[in-house]
């Protein structure tokens, strides 16, 4: 089976010959568009500080040359600026030729069309996070206007990725802390669930899948995401959710989970035996030789303070045990 076939069978729960994975040699190829925006490269502005501007106009900083950094100044100061704020333009199909070339040059790979997030992930970076969360409650109509404008932009991106040959779109949307989601679940279902449902529906109408990454403990909205139509949920901390809890969702829905061994808990133990046991637990409970699970790999060992060998051990066990004939 090719990588693309392995991933497709994984999502369909139709017995791939091995577990799909994102460690080398990965079954996936992530491709972004080439639209011209405000984005700049990282620039070193002091001996210990780097800065860049993202596609929305936000200023980011980081203290080394490897981490993703964080927004230190959003482009918007107040909700009164929303109406005149100029969003980037992702409507031009020619800006997605990078995806088309990747498809032609990598016919056997599963092509992921990169997305910048959905409304929450994008909008909250445009303001200080506390200002955005307050406005979400107190200035709902103005924030909804911003969300609506972002959704139109995202519809263009989804359609262009699909037309260019992507197999799915994937977006980051960090919804939670280590203990709960950022907003009341009732507000999430009221304001965001319909938006997810619409955008997921557009992707499926275009013949592609939707993958979502989220950090934090977001169990309160996982059923809503599944109901809205997400195909894959990518969690770097599966133990925060509980492997059994994730498996329970698969009893009634074809939801695939894409996870490394937990980057904050299990890997930090630096214990080969425990890491290999966790790999087997994840495969036994979430993959079962049928599909529904993708073996992950966290790309920045430095950021989580780990030597590469601990993830290499996990990858080795995923390869050795993640074969269908081990589950027959």
Residue 2 corresponds to which tokens in the numbers above? 């090719």
Mean pLDDT calculated for residue range 30-42: 97
Mean pLDDT calculated for residue range 127-146: 91
Out of 30-39, 278-287, 297-306, which region has the weakest mean confidence (pLDDT)? 297-306
Q: What pLDDT is attached to residue 115?
A: 97
Q: How confident is the model at residue 14 (pLDDT cuts 50, 70, 90)?
A: very high
Q: What pLDDT is attached to residue 32?
A: 97
Q: What pLDDT is attached to residue 66?
A: 78
Residue 102 corresponds to which tokens in the numbers above? 């990747």
CA 25, 325, 246, 238 torsion-angle sign:
negative
Q: What pLDDT is attached to residue 303?
A: 87
Q: What pLDDT is attached to residue 64?
A: 84
| pLDDT, tens digit, 9 for 90 and up, residues 193-208 | 999 999 999 999 999 9
Mean pLDDT calculated for residue range 37-48: 94
Cα gap 79→146, rounded to integer Å: 9
| pLDDT, tens digit, 9 for 90 and up, residues 85-132 | 999 999 999 999 999 999 999 999 999 999 999 999 999 999 976 789
Domain boundaries, the chain: 3-36+91-326
CB 10 within 8 A of CB 258: no
Whether the per-residue pLDDT at 320 is higher than 90: the answer is yes
Q: What pLDDT is attached to residue 196?
A: 98
Q: Which of 319, 314, 229, 244 is nearest to 284 (CA)?
A: 244
| pLDDT, tens digit, 9 for 90 and up, residues 212-239 | 999 999 999 999 999 999 999 999 999 9
Residue 85 corresponds to which tokens in the numbers above? 């704020």
Q: The pTM is what?
A: 0.96
Residue with tokens 């989804």: 158
Q: Indicate the angle between helix axes 97-105 and 140-164, nearest 10 degrees.
A: 40
Q: What pLDDT is attached to residue 90?
A: 98
- How far is the CA of 322 from the CAs of 235, 278, 280, 290, 308, in angstroms? 19, 13, 8, 11, 21
CB 279 within 8 A of CB 317: yes
Residues 6 or more apart whose Cβ sits within 8 Å of residue 153 = 87, 88, 89, 90, 91
Mean pLDDT calculated for residue range 262-278: 98
Q: How confident is the model at residue 68 (pLDDT cuts 50, 70, 90)?
A: confident
Residue 50: how many other CB atoms lie within 10 Å: 18
Mean pLDDT calculated for residue range 3-20: 98
Q: What pLDDT is attached to residue 328?
A: 79
Q: Above pLDDT 70, what percent of the chain? A: 100
Mean pLDDT calculated for residue range 141-167: 97
Q: Which fold has domain 3-36+91-326?
A: TIM Barrel (3.20.20)
Cα gap 194→39, rounded to integer Å: 30
């Amino acid at each position: 089976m090719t990588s693309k076939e392995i991933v497709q069978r994984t999502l369909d729960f139709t017995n791939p010959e091995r577990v799909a994975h994102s460690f080398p040699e990965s079954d996936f190829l992530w491709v972004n568009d080439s639209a011209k925006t405000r984005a700049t490269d990282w620039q070193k502005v002091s001996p210990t500080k780097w800065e860049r501007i993202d596609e929305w106009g936000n200023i980011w900083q980081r203290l080394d040359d490897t981490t993703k950094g964080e927004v230190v100044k959003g482009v918007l100061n107040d909700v009164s600026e929303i109406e005149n704020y100029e969003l980037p333009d992702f409507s031009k199909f020619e800006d997605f030729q990078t995806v088309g070339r990747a498809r032609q040059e990598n016919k056997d790979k599963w092509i992921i069309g990169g997305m910048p997030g959905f409304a929450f992930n994008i909008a909250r970076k445009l303001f200080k996070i506390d200002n955005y969360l307050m406005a979400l409650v107190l200035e709902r109509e103005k924030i909804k206007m911003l969300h609506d404008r972002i959704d139109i932009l995202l519809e263009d991106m989804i359609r262009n990725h699909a037309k260019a040959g992507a197999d799915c779109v994937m977006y980051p949307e960090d919804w939670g802390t280590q203990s709960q989601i950022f907003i009341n679940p009732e507000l999430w279902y009221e304001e965001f669930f319909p938006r997810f449902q619409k955008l997921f529906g557009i992707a499926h109408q275009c013949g592609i899948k939707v993958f979502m990454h989220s950090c934090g403990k977001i169990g309160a909205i996982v059923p809503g995401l599944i109901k809205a139509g997400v195909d894959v949920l990518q969690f770097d901390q599966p133990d925060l959710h509980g492997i059994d809890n994730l498996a329970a969702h698969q009893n009634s829905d074809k939801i695939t989970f894409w996870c490394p061994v937990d980057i904050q808990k299990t890997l930090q133990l630096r214990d080969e035996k425990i890491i290999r046991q966790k790999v087997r637990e994840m495969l036994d409970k979430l993959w079962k030789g049928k599909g529904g699970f993708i073996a992950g790999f966290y790309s920045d060992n430095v950021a989580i303070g780990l030597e590469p060998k601990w993830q290499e051990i996990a990858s080795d066990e995923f390869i050795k045990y993640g074969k269908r004939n081990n589950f027959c």
